[in-house]
Structure formats: C-alpha cells, structure tokens
Amino acid sequence: MSITCESCTAPSDLFLCERCVAELRATLRSLAFGPMVAGRPTTGLLDALDDVVTRQTCLGGGGGHRKRGDELPDLFEPDAADSTADKDMLTRQGQASGLLREARNTLTTIVRDVLESRGVEIRRAFKVVDRDMAGPLLPGWRRAGNDWQPTLPEIANWLAVHVHSLACDESAGQWKREADGLVKKIEKVIDRPPAPRFCGQ
C-alpha cells in the first residue's frame, strides 16, 4: 500500500519518502556533529549554540569602540533592556539561550513520543544502566547515576540513527518541519552577519 509523504507529498511506503528520510537524518546529524575539517570532526550546531550562550565564541558586532569610563558588558546579558523586551531586542546570547530551550523541548518531545509508543524506557534506548550494577556491560552500554539525562547532541544523534522509526509515525512530517525550522533559526543566530561593504552612491 502506497501513501503520500507527509513532507513533500511524493508516493511512499512510510509517512516520509526516502529522500525526506535522508534529509531528516542529515538535519539531525548537523545538530549533533559538524563537518569533518582536516580529518577531524567539528562541533555540531547545538554545541555551537551553547558556545554562544556561554560566550566562548566571538560573534562581533556588539563590542565597538569603548572610551574610558564606559561600562563593560555583563558576562551573561540575555536581554538588551529588561525581561519584557521584544524578541527583536534580545542579544545574540539571549536568542541562543531561548533556542537551546526550544531545541530541548522539541527533541525531547520527539524522543518521548517515539519511545512511549513502543513501550521502551529512555535509559534502555540510550544504553545506560545504573552505576551500582555489578558485572560487565554489553558493548556500547555505559554506567550512569540516577540523575542521568541525555545531552542535546546525544538526543539528536539518537534520532538520526533511528530516523526510520520517526518515518513510521504519523507525526513524521511535523517533526521534519520542526527540525528544519530549528536548524534555520540556529544558523541565523550563530553565523556572523556579513560585513558591510561600499557599493557606490
């Protein structure tokens, strides 16, 4: 039985066609891992976003020239004015902080929906056992405390590995749109704005 793809309306056996499945896998992997540069993997979009929040990367455009007596900016200044500021008034750091919350909500909701529909516990899905468990572990498993939570790159990577499980769900088209929108928003925040150039009169 053939149905239409929830994303591009092409004929498909699942709720996403093979092309859209490949695109969703690439999108989720870009959140977890960056491209290979000089034979080494780089950080993914989520880690780059976290670097913006913690000010470990310089985006430029905010410093400018300071005169003697000017106040130095705070280490963490998510808002430009106050908590009731417009979204356009948020600094890059504030936008990145909001996007990290949105990414965690989006990705954990997808994982929870996939695992609950199949009756699988999250610790089992991520191959984690209690730290107190005695004996050897199966390959790929690890020990963790009771307060263990998967990191955002781990969640994105797990979703990329199990992308066909997402394609079997009726919400696959919505999840793909959410992941694509999330990547576009993150790239807009972490990419440096183009330098102004003189184009004539």
Residues forming a β-bridge with 12: 3
Residue 58 confidence (pLDDT): 62
CA angle 186, 48, 16 (to 5 degrees): 50
Contacts of 166 (CB under 8 A, 6+ apart): 16, 24, 110, 114, 159, 172, 175
Q: Return d(Cα 86, Cα 90) in angstroms, integer.
A: 7
Residue 101 confidence (pLDDT): 93
State CA 77 to chain mean position distance: 22
Q: Name the residue with tokens 């999840």.
A: 175
Residue 4 confidence (pLDDT): 87
User: What does each of the 201 residues of the chain score in pLDDT, given as a tens digit?
Assistant: 568 888 888 888 889 999 999 999 999 999 999 887 888 878 889 998 888 888 777 665 555 555 565 555 555 555 444 444 455 567 788 888 899 999 999 999 999 999 999 999 999 999 999 988 888 988 989 999 888 999 999 999 999 999 999 999 999 999 999 999 999 999 988 887 777 888 887
What is the largest distance, in Å, between two alpha-carbon atoms of the chain?
A: 75
Q: What pTM, to 2 d.p., does this model score? A: 0.79
Contacts of 11 (CB under 8 A, 6+ apart): 2, 3, 4, 5, 17
Helix/strand/coil for 65:
coil
